[in-house]
Structure 1
Amino acid sequence: MNIVFVSLDTLRASRLGCYGCEKPTSPYIDRIASQGVLFERAYASDIPTEAAHTGIFTGRLGIHTGIVSHGSALSYLPKGGAWMPELLRRKGFTTAAVDNLYQLKEWFARGYRYYMNSVGEHRHIDGRTVNSLAFPWIREHKEKSFFLFLHYWDAHTPYLPPKEYIESFYEAGRDPFDSSNRSMDQAYNHPAYPFFKHHHYDHLGPVTDSAYIDALYDAEVRYLDDRLRELDQCLIQEGLYENTLLVLFGDHGESLTEHGIYWDHCGLYETTVRVPVIMRWPGVISAGKRVTGLVQHVDLMPTVMEAAGLKLEEPIDGKSLWPVIRGEQEGTQERIYLSECAWQASRGIVTRDYKFIRTLDSGPYVRPVRELYALNADPEELVNLAVEMPVFADQLEHDLEQWVARELTGKQDPMRLQLEAGLPFQRRIDLILQQYGLSWEEWNADPKREIFDEAVEKSRYAGEVT
């Protein structure tokens, strides 16, 4: 057998047709979903990218690996623990990746016989680059059992889809630079603006219409869909369709202005932590199956291990999805514990009906200390019930605290350690401001776009911020 394991970075589940989106974003992903199994309530237990992928490949939650943040100097994954590509390599699979996470942390290259770094001259990684590296490798190694990890970044900022993809999602004749449109004001005057100016807004020009940036995201998803169609055609042409387990998953989603988050992936809200997970294996997985129970990222590793005939010798947090796929159980969890520690630090619990969030540090955002949402009645998480239902919120907070204490078993909490060192994305803003003679305190007290833009104009180092 072969395993093609595909990370769709920043792909929001609710932006796909098979997850209920009415826009034409994902005709081919929808087709793949119809050929296999779709998990309606799959969650990224740890976000963002670094923490999410570490959990996926170890089958362990961040509270156990210690990887709870992104881009932090504190993060390190010791060698010797279960790591999916390494286990598969020992089993006899030829292992390969088209990925660039090695640029972030060295452990993401572990276990691969072939590691094709997809990073280029520019920050934005095009899915065509991923395919151009993957397809020749597939053709060369199709006679062997292989595990191939592909990491597509098209849905990640900056959203730069080919122009022909935009017209399906943005009203014809509408001007995204109309100065009378004020819908970008909140984004441009947000405390995180210095970061996003350099990493996103400067790539797009002086956009005034927030709906245009939403349309760019949808266009990126549609562009990604075409790249996955090309991948599937390659598998079919090389005679690998029948004997390949194809796994598609998002590492996290994306907020498109919801909860004051402007085209980014922080916050333990459904827009970010509910991710697409789709699996296809002809003749093994029944076509058109949908799973409604709770599952999580760390379940993917033991699922792949079982498919490959591998038994794990050490305990992990994830549970195989095969009993769920066979209809023997509804999901793998009754509740899922959530964590983030990059832009802000918070933990949460999601159950069948509710979500509770406890924020430890809101970073550049404004957050209540406690949030409680009734997901069925309020899927957009607009009504915080923490004050209206204090007893229930108290119980969930107690459950969360007890879970953290139980899982740590006396060890130091990696989230607390990160907070002592400072939130890494907060530090990024600090460094940008310092290069233009501004302080975080000064900026945060009055985060107006004009203040920062004027500082940039005055600085002879403008354009050198990284």
Structure 2
Amino acid sequence: MDTARARECYGLVEDEPAVTDEENSLLSTESFTSTFTSAPWTLPSHASLFTGTSPSKHGAHAGHKHLNETLLTVPELLQNQGYETVAISNNTWISEEFGFGRGFETFYKTWQYVQSDTDLGRIARQEEGFDKIRRAGKALFDGDPLTNIANAVYGQFFRKTDDDGAARTNAWIEAWLGDRDDSRPFFLFVNYLEPHLEYRPPKAHAVEHLPAGVTYEEAMEVSQDAWGYTADTVELTDEDFEILRALYRAEIAYLEEKIEEVVDLLKAEDEWEDTLFIVTSDHGENIGDHGLMDHQYALYDTLLHVPLFVHGGPFEEGEIDDLVQLVDLPPTILDVLDIDAPAARDQFQGISFHPDADETREYAIAEYIAPQPSMDALEKRVGDLPEHVHTYDRSLRAIRTDRYKYIRGSDGTTELYDVQVDPGETNDLSDTHEDVVADLDTTLDEWLDSFEQADPTGATTMSADAKDRLEDLGYLQD
């Protein structure tokens, strides 16, 4: 094992992208083309990524929105090995408030100009008149008043509308790399947000991807109200979805440039050859697929199939089509860095995909433990819900082999797809392939019986500012 080339460990998570043709040119690295996340949205997917466990085991999901301290996390493991551990987050879910701060010496949140637990930016942007004065005045003294004022001014006037934090993230990385104590190895985790509703890429990138005859201004007028579309209060045409997909591709193209900037920064500091560099995504996106928008209420591959690129250590340029899951990253990282950590390895449900590993994955598992947003939260947003929307009020589990994808709902529904011939999962075979359904159903039950499932107790709460910011990003809360 060539650990000399893996002195540093750098993790990059893009918040949205599913696999597209554009992403295959992202980096000259080893590309894992059959990679799947464990959950279709940010909180449980990142919890799986950090702990190497499934949502059923780590217990962070829509019913319990916090990663509890019962499991070891990758940053904790590396901090114990003497690594400098740093996180940069552009998404409110990935913050100390929701349990993701453990093991990080530094946790930088790009939505704040000065790092603080109090956020006036949302008040400054959203409230008007007396309500703005009242709420801002109340929050002003919740912490450091000068810091709060600085963050409010930043949120109101200076944070760009065509960049969700990538530019500021890279500027921070550049300064940090130049100033850090290079006698220590580092673990740097970055969550970018750009490919996230609303899709508002820089104009120069958008015009390169928009359909012929569609202007940037026209594209910006297309509704991106995912919940209105889900509840049938917003109508979108095929042409509208073509435009939205073009904007999504433009967001990815912009983010690709920003990731390549980070590679250049590492090279400039002579760190690149000693760095294990990983780029992946926590989930994909439905843009009219399966009658849905955003990344909720389903376990189709549009949400679960994600990119994975790895550079450094034993990984060489090329493509690998073996089944891989994001829960496989923690044991793989430990193998590359030659870290034993037996307690963590006992905890992991992932399978190392180190080139010297003996075991390969036979199937991938994904879970959607509870709907997010709930029916109540959605109804508060859009009003009375059509009957078909209430069918989303259930949990889902899916098991996927190289050929078949089986989805089972808590409401008794089942779906089966031959993903080799039907990658879009449009032809449900559950009624005609009962033997395959029975076999995968049994395998799913055996997997569930193989570990102790989390039973999180106690209600979880979030600050009003976090709730507001998440709703600003489209995550409706009760």
Shorter-normalised TM range: 0.7 to 0.9
Q: Distance in 2 between matches of 1:306 and 1:76?
A: 28
Q: Distance in 2 between matches of 1:264 and 1:148?
A: 26
CA gap of 1:183–1:55, structure 2 versus 1, over 3 A, is closer
User: TM-score when scaled to structure 1?
Assistant: 0.73
CA gap of 1:333–1:66, structure 2 versus 1, over 3 A, is same
Out of 310, 325, 332, the residue aligned to residue 360 of structure 2 is 332
Question: 1:277-304, CA deviations, whole angstroms, 9 ceiling, x for partnerless residues?
Answer: 11001xx335322211111111111111
Assess if the C-alpha contact under 8 Å between 1:339 and 1:346 holds in 2. Answer: yes
- The amino acid across from 1:85 in the alignment is P
Which position in structure 1 is the counterpart of 2:100? 108
Q: Distance in 1 between matches of 2:281 and 2:398?
A: 19
| Correspondence 1:16-415 to 2 at 5 A | 16-18=22-24, 27=25, 29=26, 32=27, 34=28, 36-67=29-60, 69-70=61-62, 72=63, 74-79=64-69, 81-99=71-89, 100-103=92-95, 105-120=97-112, 121=155, 125-141=164-180, 143=182, 144-174=184-214, 188-191=228-231, 209-281=240-312, 284-314=313-343, 315=346, 316-322=348-354, 325-326=355-356, 332-340=360-368, 341-343=370-372, 344=392, 345-360=395-410, 369-408=413-452
1:318 shift after superposition:
1.5
Assess if the C-alpha contact under 8 Å between 1:319 and 1:332 holds in 2. Answer: yes
1:102 shift after superposition:
4.6
SS of 2:249's equivalent?
helix
Which position in structure 2 is the counterpart of 1:441? none
- More relative contact order in 1 or in 2 (CA 8 Å, sep 6+)? 2
Q: Distance in 2 between matches of 1:262 and 1:62?
A: 23
Question: 1:341-363, CA deviations, whole angstroms, 9 ceiling, x for partnerless residues?
Answer: 334520011011100001225xx
1:192 shift after superposition:
7.5
SS of 1:130's equivalent?
helix
Question: 1:120-169, CA deviations, whole angstroms, 9 ceiling, x for partnerless residues?
Answer: 43797321121122211111126231111111111111111111111111
CA gap of 1:186–1:42, structure 2 versus 1, over 3 A, is closer
Q: Distance in 2 between matches of 1:52 and 1:146?
A: 23
1:397 shift after superposition:
2.1
Q: Distance in 2 between matches of 1:177 and 1:12?
A: 26
Report how many residues are paired.
382
User: TM-score when scaled to structure 2?
Assistant: 0.72
Structure 2 unmatched ranges of 5 or more: 1-6, 113-154, 373-391, 461-466, 472-476
- The amino acid across from 1:59 in the alignment is G
Q: Distance in 2 between matches of 1:186 and 1:133?
A: 32
1:333 shift after superposition:
1.2
Structure 1 unmatched ranges of 5 or more: 19-26, 362-367, 422-427, 433-464
SS of 1:321's equivalent?
coil
Which position in structure 1 is the counterpart of 2:137? none
Assess if the C-alpha contact under 8 Å between 2:286 and 2:303 holds in 1. Answer: yes
What is the aligned-residue identity percentage?
25
Q: Distance in 2 between matches of 1:184 and 1:91?
A: 45
Bigger drift between 388-397 and 145-154 goes to 388-397
CA gap of 1:389–1:182, structure 2 versus 1, over 3 A, is farther
